[in-house]
Structure 1
């Protein structure tokens, strides 16, 4: 994944009832979790977490 890419984030991470689409705004290497991704959706909400919760579109 790369910054600017459209992805979906799992409801397990968001706590919402469905997958949320958004744009990747930041990718970083977390020494404890591995790769951590942050996205921003169309409503301006920001979600971030481990790479395993994100799927590219």
Structure 2
């Protein structure tokens, strides 16, 4: 869930940033947040599914 939220935050930040790369308006930060959020969601999805499958033992 956090990865999706980060990706969404990056997409919104990228959408509202005016200017180009290197202007200091957050274009690179928004793009980086979008990519890292999507990577987190892709890596977190299988981990969540695996934890639900195995359950807690202890």
Q: TM-score, normalised by structure 1?
A: 0.21
Q: Give the number of the structure whose residues are more often strand, by fraction.
A: 1
Q: Give the number of the structure whose residues are more often helix, by fraction.
A: 2
**Relative CO higher for 1 or 2, CA cutoff 8 Å, sep ≥ 6?**
2
Flag the structure with larger Rg.
2
Q: TM-score, normalised by structure 2?
A: 0.21
